[in-house]
Amino acid sequence: MKERPPERRRSLGRRDQDRAFEELAIQDAFVALTDGIILTGPDGFIVSANPAAFRVLGEETLNGRPFEELLLVTGAATVQDADGHHVRRTWFPREDRMGVLEIVSTSIGERGVLHTVRDVTAQAELLRLKEDFLLQVAHELRTPIAALSATLDLLVDDALSMPPAQLMTMVSTLRRSALRLEHLVENLLDAGSIEAGTFQVRAVPASVRSCLQEAMVFTQMLLDSKHQRLEERLRPDSDRVLADPRRTAQVLANLIANASRYAPENTTVTIVTAGRDGFVQVSVVDEGPGIPADEQPRLFQRFFRSREVRDQAGGLGLGLTICRAIVLAHGGDIRVESEVGRGTSVHFTLPKARQLAEEAGA
Ligand SMILES: Nc1ncnc2c1ncn2[C@@H]1O[C@H](COP(=O)(O)OP(=O)(O)OP(=O)(O)O)[C@@H](O)[C@H]1O
Ligand SMILES: [Mg+2]
């Protein structure tokens, strides 16, 4: 490890009293810090560690052994060694699964080495998901673009001599590919604006039924291509909502697209509505493979895709994230109910329009 040029803590208090107070504050900070701090002496043994370090690494692990030995055992790898900071990453067991730990070691001269220990599992996961995501975007764009250009090639050569029925088939392939591209780009843009915090909805009195019709413009083709059927069980008394019609159609389109994509051929997708205390609950129910319970809490996370389907069907892992942002922006909520082998239901709620009108009139 390279030696750091000496740096001193800057003391701002001038009076002795201020300095004593500062010392105490620093001691408190050592205990309260959410990052783990470990101090090793010149012999490499741990001299002191704060509660966060114990929480991450465990008290038994830290007590009475050289810190470097611990890092050796866990297979820590150097990711950076510059400006006097030696940065390493290693795996460590967390409550639920293995996590990634980042250790920054800084020499403090003859007194030893100061190590900051931080759980960077979430960042590491996000980075990996983003890398996969870029590949997936390219892959997802390639399929409709390839279909578009292959169909256009055929049309350029033979459009004038083609029987009308064949021409129609070609045109609907073109339309399907164009819609797929539009849907992908829209999801990408929306994910960007959700991330930037600029995502908005404009709620007006709207009908769930007509939003569903709009959603079907895109999803009917998906269902048809897998010989799936859509069943509507919309109760007339739970049709009027206060919602952004285009966005609501987008939620339905994303949920129906999932139901169609992940369920086998010849199955039924059912849309059910029900009244719920001033809200309308809309459910999209499928007869697909279901989602393992341990994966359910992560479904609404950006880029997340179940291990069950990752290799079978394309997708970017954005649909549910966007659905959730849209539903929350309306003041509703969204949840998944699923069991492996027994299908999946996604339920979301939107404020009832009539109820709000009545309240306003009261
Ligand atoms: N109806 C469903 N049945 C089974 N698994 C589902 C269902 N809906 C969602 N999933 C799982 O949740 C994951 C996330 O869904 P989400 O809609 O967010 O992304 P995606 O469908 O993979 O990609 P896209 O961005 O194209 O929608 C899916 O990859 C799949 O693993
Ligand atoms: Mg999806």
Ligand 1 close to Cβ of residue 271 (< 6 A): no
What is Dmax (Cα atoms) for the chain?
A: 97
Span 231-260, average pLDDT? 94
Residue 240 has what pLDDT? Answer: 93
Span 250-269, average pLDDT? 96
Ligand 1 close to Cβ of residue 99 (< 6 A): no
Residue 8 has what pLDDT? Answer: 66
> What is the dotted CATH code of the domain comprising 127-361?
3.30.565.10
Structure tokens at 203: 């709620």
340 Cα: distance to centroid of ligand 1 (angstroms): 14
Nearest to 94 by CA among 131, 128, 56, 66: 56
60-78: pLDDT as tens digits: 777 777 888 888 888 888 9
Tell me the C-alpha distance between 196 and 187, whole Å.
14
* Ligand 2 (single-atom ion) residues, CB below 5 Å: 258, 319
DSSP for 165-181?
HHHHHHHHHHHHHHHHH
- Indicate the pTM of the whole model: 0.68
Q: What are phi and psi of 249, to 5 degrees?
A: -60, -35
Structure tokens at 321: 């994230």
Residue 362 has what pLDDT? Answer: 43
Ligand 1 close to Cβ of residue 141 (< 6 A): no
> What is the separation, in whole angstroms, between the first and last Cα of the chain?
73
Residue 118 has what pLDDT? Answer: 93
327 Cα: distance to centroid of ligand 1 (angstroms): 17
Residue 83's pLDDT band, with cuts at 50, 70 and 90, is confident
Sheet holding 229-233, edge to edge: 229-233, 268-276, 279-285, 344-351, 334-338
Residue nearest to atom 29 of ligand 1 (CA): 305
Task: Tell me the torsion sign for CA atoms 42, 48, 49, 54.
Answer: positive
261 Cα: distance to centroid of ligand 2 (angstroms): 8
pLDDT more than 90, % of the chain: 49
Nearest to 254 by CA among 350, 174, 183: 183
Ligand 1 close to Cβ of residue 258 (< 6 A): yes
Atom of ligand 1 nearest to the CA of 259: 1
Residue 251 has pLDDT above 60, yes or no: yes
Q: Average the pLDDT over each of 6-10, 25-29, 171-175 and give the range with the smallest value.
A: 6-10
Ligand 1 close to Cβ of residue 238 (< 6 A): no
CA distances from residue 61 to 54, 55, 70, 71, 74 in whole angstroms, order as listed: 8, 11, 8, 11, 11
Residue 347 has what pLDDT? Answer: 98
**Would you list the domain boundaries of the chain?**
16-119, 127-361
Neighbours of 60 (CB within 10 A): 9
CATH code matching the domain that covers 16-119, chosen among 3.30.450.20, 3.30.390.50, 3.40.50.620, 1.10.287.810: 3.30.450.20
Residue 37's pLDDT band, with cuts at 50, 70 and 90, is very high
Residue 9 has pLDDT above 80, yes or no: no
293-321: pLDDT as tens digits: 999 999 998 888 887 777 777 788 899 99
Span 21-45, average pLDDT? 89
Q: Taking a C-beta distance cutoff of 8 angstroms, is the pair 35, 52 a contact?
A: yes
Q: Is 97 helix (H, G, I), strand (E, B) or coil?
A: coil
Residue 361 has what pLDDT? Answer: 47
Q: Taking a C-beta distance cutoff of 8 angstroms, is the pair 48, 39 a contact?
A: yes
CA distances from residue 41 to 3, 66, 114, 279 in whole angstroms, order as listed: 16, 9, 9, 62
Tell me the C-alpha distance between 324 and 172, whole Å.
31
Residue 4's pLDDT band, with cuts at 50, 70 and 90, is low
